[in-house]
């Protein structure tokens, strides 16, 4: 017997959440061991752990309460990882030194597995003067490119790349460039992007008024508000980004509006956070709480729901004390406010079980009632914790109760807070829950509709092959078990058949009782008109949502879902799904095992002006007669190279051992530019020593047949231009860019192409 209802659920547990030792030997023998590990770790914070461990375990059992992946994977393992999911970094200073200090902090946070958000509105616009440098600013987008490159090198939680959210205010002078940045298919791939929309801007859009783009009190440009809004809509219509965040509404409704200002969110948008803000996530599995499913008496057990919410709040509050933090500023912020983000998953399945069509007015009313019950239970549980352990340090009863969100809270809850305080400043949030929903038996994700009744998901195996496994929605599988071959009722709808405005209705119904925000994607048909598409966003604004994200499949964005051409029953279409980040493959495999012997080659790389050569050894794994790179060793007698060559060795080898298409390593290395200047090597200008190493790896891949040729198999070919030194222009070439544009300026030989000068 197993607790898992589907093979893919057990595979996800084994790959992502199961505790194993350094050599991969499981420590968690069963998922019950995982639940026991989490319960023990979170109960350890209590004065009498034994009083709570069993209760925590019971909440986790049968997947009723689902802590977010960071907690499930990290709690009780003694690993140096954060249990928090969401971070917004500090305010980015408008200075070169400050910007790169922020970059370092971002790298440290992502290294421990946190997704991060940044507001780039604080960086002066492109073309603005830079005091004391006699130069013009390059603008926030140029620094976002630097962040993007950094993120590409960080593997979040060891198996998925880091995630980032970039925001920019709708009145920033560079917002037009920000809006269209992702029209370049190779740019800012590591970012989700959203525009911060203010109330005055929406008023200007509706009244068709002019709109000033300003920075530092200076107006750089005046545009028509409706034109800027249409530009956002057009980019989102074409490229699925940027999203829209109604930032004034977020700040007005924030329980902590008296002591913080929010300008950014975590990568999926459900957690608007202040500078250095951090939040952890967890979800109540609504699909496990319905009694008599699909019967006339079907109902959600609200008594069990309230008890489960209270336990979950206590567990999450304990995480604040049990977790490590990448930065001390994040630890201080979390301790001062004790934010938690309790949400739901399986909502659509629960609605189906009680006979309601997702998106209908009745389903929206039921969602409102359920979310209200959860909010009440969460706030009252936090009041009880305040009685026992004290309110959060920055609690101010009068100011807290005067916030926008608390104005609609039940009077008895307000009275309890006024009398006893509250332990957690904010309590509710709805995350996307894509992976943990699969782990829990493929319940519907978050508050999303059922994705599809049945689909096939691609899984990458250790040997590089791909297999397909059918995954059936939890509610559909339960219907089959209870009703046999009886056709699904008409109220069964999924994400592909639902009208966009029905999505908005459900998001708005849930948002009323969520004090943070909601991760929700509104699926739009490919043939939706542009005017109807814009109406989705205006409806989200009019109905009180805090943001809006849509997805319209097209030639640029691709399709989230593709139905196979094989005939299938109408109620169970066969489909292929992407993962949460949009990748086609779900990486379920562990790193490839290392045989005792490998085939390989060693290459000597002599960088000009360097005393010692670098030796690069690349070993290959042979699978089905084909060689693929497995590990790299980079050595040099130059001790200045020691740290970065070891780091590069470990990073590249770790990527190679994951399998799949690893040619992007070449692409990334060859694109690295050294601001101190590159070098000419064998008739080619190589922009950095890292680019030279990338060239060596590419040469090896071509020689072994892994790549068909130089620059082939890559998204873009970053290889340097070849210049014939024999037949090229006469004269000396620039030592930085290689062009023949050197001229004497003010006594210094200066390159007219790149500006390089040995005089400085």
Look up 268 and say whether it is catalytic.
Answer: yes
pLDDT at residue 743, rounded to an integer: 55
Tell me which residue of 336, 334, 428, 423 sits closest to 385, measured CA to CA.
Answer: 423
Lowest mean pLDDT among 263-272, 303-312, 679-688: 679-688
Is 80 in contact with 324 (CB distance < 8 Å)?
yes
Do 741 and 630 lie in one domain? The reply is no
Do 692 and 734 lie in one domain? The reply is no
Q: Give the phi and the psi of residue 373 in degrees, each rounded to 5.
A: -60, -40
* Rounded average pLDDT over 205-226: 97
* Rounded average pLDDT over 338-361: 97
Tens of pLDDT, residues 485-531 = 999 999 999 887 899 999 999 999 999 999 999 999 999 998 999 99
CA distances from 319 to 61, 148, 178, 333, 660 (A): 18, 30, 36, 14, 35
In the DSSP assignment, the letter for residue 493 is -
Look up 611 and say whether it is catalytic.
Answer: no
Residue 700 within a domain = yes
* Confidence band of 38 (pLDDT split at 50, 70, 90): very high
Residue 294 within a domain = no
pLDDT exceeds cutoff 70 at 730 = no
Do 747 and 691 lie in one domain? The reply is no
The enclosing H or E element of 66 equals strand 65-67
Q: Is the peptide bond before 413 cis (omega within 30 degrees of 0)?
A: no
d(CA 170, CA 161): 29
In the DSSP assignment, the letter for residue 405 is G
Residue 737 within a domain = yes
Do 733 and 663 lie in one domain? The reply is no
Do 714 and 734 lie in one domain? The reply is no
Joined together, the tokens standing for residue 388 give: 């026992």
pLDDT at residue 482, rounded to an integer: 95
By residue range, what is the domain housing residue 603? 599-722
pLDDT at residue 80, rounded to an integer: 73
Rounded (10°) CA dihedral 100, 106, 107, 112: 160
> Residue 19: CB partners within 8 Å, gap ≥ 6?
26, 27, 28, 33, 34, 37, 73, 76, 77
Do 651 and 685 lie in one domain? The reply is yes
Lowest mean pLDDT among 3-12, 178-187, 740-749: 740-749
Residue 691 within a domain = yes
Tell me which residue of 575, 576, 611, 614 sits closest to 694, measured CA to CA.
Answer: 614
pLDDT at residue 632, rounded to an integer: 92
Do 675 and 745 lie in one domain? The reply is no
d(CA 273, CA 247): 11
Do 706 and 746 lie in one domain? The reply is no
* Confidence band of 290 (pLDDT split at 50, 70, 90): very high
Residue 106 within a domain = no
d(CA 303, CA 373): 10
Largest CA distance in the chain: 91
d(CA 35, CA 262): 35
Share of residues in the chain with pLDDT > 70 (%): 84
In Å, how far from its chain's centre is CA 727? Answer: 51
pLDDT exceeds cutoff 50 at 570 = no
Tens of pLDDT, residues 599-643 = 889 999 888 767 778 899 999 888 767 788 989 998 887 777 778
Tell me which residue of 36, 38, 29, 37 sits closest to 10, measured CA to CA.
Answer: 29
* Confidence band of 541 (pLDDT split at 50, 70, 90): very high
CA distances from 470 to 36, 452, 459, 633 (A): 30, 11, 11, 40
Do 624 and 648 lie in one domain? The reply is yes
E-strand ranges in 163-268 read 164-169, 191-197, 210-215, 218-224, 243-246, 264-265
d(CA 700, CA 413): 67
d(CA 597, CA 595): 5
> Residue 107: CB partners within 8 Å, gap ≥ 6?
150, 154
Do 707 and 618 lie in one domain? The reply is yes
Do 636 and 736 lie in one domain? The reply is no
Mean pLDDT of the residues in the chain: 85
Among 241, 260, 270, 448, the one annotated catalytic: 270
Tens of pLDDT, residues 238-272 = 988 999 999 999 999 999 999 999 999 998 999 99
Among 266, 285, 523, 619, the one annotated catalytic: 266
d(CA 357, CA 137): 53
Residue 42 within a domain = no
Do 641 and 616 lie in one domain? The reply is yes
Lowest mean pLDDT among 332-341, 527-536, 623-632, 733-742: 733-742
Residue 336 within a domain = no
Residue 728 within a domain = yes
Is 722 in contact with 714 (CB distance < 8 Å)?
no
- Count of beta carbons in the 10 Å neighbourhood of residue 705: 11
Joined together, the tokens standing for residue 691 give: 């680019």
Give the number of domains in the chain. Answer: 2
pLDDT at residue 577, rounded to an integer: 35
Among 268, 279, 524, 751, the one annotated catalytic: 268
């Amino acid at each position: 017997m197993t607790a898992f209802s589907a093979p893919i659920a057990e595979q996800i547990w084994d790959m992502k959440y199961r505790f194993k030792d350094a050599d991969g030997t499981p420590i968690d023998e069963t998922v019950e061991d995982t639940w026991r590990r989490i319960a023990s770790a979170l109960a350890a914070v209590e004065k009498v752990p034994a009083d709570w461990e069993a209760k925590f375990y019971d909440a986790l059992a049968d997947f009723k309460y689902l802590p977010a992946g960071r907690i499930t994977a990290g709690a009780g393992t003694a690993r140096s990882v954060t249990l928090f999911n969401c971070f917004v970094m500090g305010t980015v200073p408008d200075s070169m030194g400050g910007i790169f200090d922020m970059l370092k902090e971002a790298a440290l946070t992502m290294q421990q597995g946190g997704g991060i958000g940044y507001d780039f509105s604080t960086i002066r616009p492109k073309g603005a003067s830079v005091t004391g440098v006699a130069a013009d600013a390059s603008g926030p987008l140029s620094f976002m490119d630097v962040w993007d490159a950094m993120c590409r090198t960080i593997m979040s939680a060891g198996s998925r790349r880091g995630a980032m959210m970039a925001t920019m205010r709708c009145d920033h002078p560079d917002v037009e460039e920000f809006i269209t940045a992702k029209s370049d298919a190779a740019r800012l791939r590591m970012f989700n992007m959203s525009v911060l929309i203010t109330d005055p801007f929406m008023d200007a859009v509706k009244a068709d008024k002019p709109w000033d783009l300003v920075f530092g009190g200076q107006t750089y440009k005046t545009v028509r508000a409706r034109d800027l809004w249409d530009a956002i809509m057009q980019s989102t219509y074409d490229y699925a980004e940027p999203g829209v965040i109604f930032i004034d509404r977020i700040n007005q409704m924030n329980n902590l509006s008296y002591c913080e200002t929010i300008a950014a969110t975590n990568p999926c948008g459900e957690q608007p956070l202040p500078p250095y803000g951090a939040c952890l996530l967890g979800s109540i599995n609504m699909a496990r709480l319905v009694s008599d499913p699909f019967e006339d008496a079907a109902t959600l057990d609200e008594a069990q729901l309230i008890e489960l919410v209270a336990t979950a709040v206590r567990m999450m509050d304990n995480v604040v004390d049990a977790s490590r933090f990448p930065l001390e500023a994040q630890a201080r912020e979390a301790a001062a406010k004790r934010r938690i983000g309790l949400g739901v998953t399986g909502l659509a399945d629960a609605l189906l079980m009680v006979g309601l069509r997702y998106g209908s007015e009745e389903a929206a009313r039921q969602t409102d009632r359920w979310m209200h019950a959860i909010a009440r239970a969460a706030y009252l549980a936090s009041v009880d914790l305040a009685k026992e352990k004290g309110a959060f340090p920055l609690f101010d009863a009068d100011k807290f109760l005067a916030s926008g969100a608390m104005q609609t809270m039940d009077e008895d809850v307000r009275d309890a807070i006024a009398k006893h305080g509250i332990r957690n400043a904010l309590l509710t949030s709805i995350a996307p829950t894509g992976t943990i929903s699969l782990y829990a038996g493929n319940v519907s994700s978050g508050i999303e509709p059922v994705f599809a009744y049945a689909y096939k998901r691609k899984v990458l195996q250790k040997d590089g092959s791909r297999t397909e496994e059918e995954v059936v929605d939890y509610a559909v599988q339960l219907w089959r078990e209870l009703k046999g071959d009886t056709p699904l009722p008409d109220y069964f709808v999924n994400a592909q058949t639902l009208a966009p405005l029905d999505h908005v209705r459900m998001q708005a119904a849930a948002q009323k009782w969520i004090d943070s925000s909601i991760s929700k994607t509104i699926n739009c048909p490919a043939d939706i008109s542009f005017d109807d598409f814009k109406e989705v966003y205006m409806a989200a604004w009019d109905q009180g949502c805090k943001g809006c994200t849509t997805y319209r499949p097209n030639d640029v964005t691709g399709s989230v879902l593709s139905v196979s051409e094989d005939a299938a029953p109408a109620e169970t279409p066969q489909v292929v799904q992407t993962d949460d980040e949009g990748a086609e493959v779900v990486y379920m495999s562990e790193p490839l095992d290392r045989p005792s012997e490998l085939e390989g080659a060693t290459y000597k790389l002599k960088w000009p002006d360097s005393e010692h050569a670098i030796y690069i050894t690349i070993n290959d794994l042979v699978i089905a007669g084909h060689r693929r790179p497995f590990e790299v060793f980079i050595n040099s007698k130059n001790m200045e190279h020691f740290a970065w060559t070891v780091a590069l060795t470990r990073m590249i080898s770790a990527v190679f051992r994951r399998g799949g298409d690893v040619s992007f390593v070449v692409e990334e290395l060859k694109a690295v530019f050294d601001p101190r200047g590159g070098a000419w090597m064998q008739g080619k200008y190589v922009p950095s020593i890292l680019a030279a190493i990338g060239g060596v790896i590419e040469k090896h891949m071509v020689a072994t047949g892994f790549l068909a040729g130089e620059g082939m198999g890559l998204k873009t070919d970053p290889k340097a231009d070849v210049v014939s030194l024999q037949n090229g222009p006469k004269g000396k070439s620039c030592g930085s860019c290689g062009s023949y544009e050197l001229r004497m300026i003010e006594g210094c030989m200066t390159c007219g192409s790149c500006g390089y000068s040995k005089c400085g």
